[in-house]
Structure 1
Amino acid sequence: MSVYKRLEELGVELGAMTAPAASYAPFVKHGNLLYLSGHLARRAGQIWKGRLGDDISTEVGQQAARAVAVDLVSTMHATIEDLDRVKKIVKLTAMVASAADFESQHIVANGASDFFAAVFQGIGPHARSAFGVARLPLGSCVEIELIVGFE
């Protein structure tokens, strides 16, 4: 089944590629790999601010991670123009703005990982790192970067 059909079934509409918030490229293509720079969590077009374990629950953090994943797919689409060219979601790195005692960064990252598994099915499961940080740019609660193999 087409990636676009799965997105439609999930009720996901892709947006435009998000512009970088500083001096960096939103993506780099090298051979058959696409490196997507960190994307910040957004809600209703605005940075989704907060810290897990302080003012954001794990469940809401998962929603934020899923929102980042949708944004990453929008960037993929804008970059390679056809999501059916994706051959493997290779590596996901999730950074979670966390209170000092918050220990569920890996559960927050599941919001993105589960989304990629659903959309890209057999090629969606990936290697992953998830870790907590004191603060993220612009006060975002989650930032995710991604490496994708494509043809």
Structure 2
Amino acid sequence: MSHDYEARLKELGITLPDAPAPAANYVPYVIVGDLVFVSGQISNGPDGLILGKLGDDMDVEAGAAAAKTCALGLVAQLKAACDGDLSRLVRVVKLGGFVNSTPDFTQQPQVVNGASDFLVELFGDAGRHARAAVSAPALPLGVAVEIEGIFQIK
């Protein structure tokens, strides 16, 4: 069964960002067999990087919105890995979420839900995945969230 995820993106009023180029000596994704391993995508919105530390200057709702931008980056990289054809997605396998947060902040899962919820909204059951959501004392460039992903494709 083929899925028209491009039409679903339009229904949701979402335009994918361009798949960002790596900022250092790594590749944006690696394909091994039928798995695509996508490098961590940092929180980056239309107005630039989304900076902040959860438990200090950012609340859970803003953190979840930042995590959603990471998911948009993951989907953009997945689309590039699939030669522009998102219908090749079989399922989202796993996300690893890193939340820039204070030592006493414990709502990392609620923040990463911003990415998880979006992937299920876009891909339906194929978007359900295993996941980790952990605290980080700092993230690159001061961003609020970074998320990496593993996807199965055909």
TM-score range (shorter-chain normalised) is: over 0.9
CA shift digits 1:55-108 (9 cap, x unpaired): 010000000000110111111111212101000100000000001111000000
| Deviation of the 1:21 alpha carbon | 1.8
Structure 2, unmatched stretches of 5+, are none
Indicate if the aligned counterparts of 1:105 and 1:131 stay in contact, CA closer than 8 A: yes
**Number of the residue aligned with 2:40:** 38
**Number of the residue aligned with 2:123:** 120
CA distance in 2, matches of 1:77, 1:45: 22
Aligned mate of 1:142, from 117, 135, 145: 145
Equivalent residue runs for 1:99-118 within 5 Å = 99-118=102-121
SS at match of 2:62: helix
CA distance in 1, matches of 2:131, 2:150: 10
**Number of the residue aligned with 1:66:** 68
Structure 1, unmatched stretches of 5+, are none
SS at match of 1:11: coil
Give the count of matched residue pairs.
151
CA distance in 1, matches of 2:131, 2:96: 6
Indicate if the aligned counterparts of 1:15 and 1:71 stay in contact, CA closer than 8 A: yes
- The share of aligned pairs that are identical, in percent, is 42
Structure 1 runs (4+) greater than 3 angstroms displaced = none
2:100 paired with 1:97: yes
Indicate if the aligned counterparts of 1:99 and 1:134 stay in contact, CA closer than 8 A: yes
2:28 paired with 1:8: no
| TM-score, structure 1 as length reference | 0.97
SS at match of 1:149: strand
Indicate if the aligned counterparts of 1:16 and 1:78 stay in contact, CA closer than 8 A: no
SS at match of 1:50: coil
Please, what is the CA RMSD of the aligned residues? 0.9
| TM-score, structure 2 as length reference | 0.95
CA distance in 2, matches of 1:87, 1:131: 26
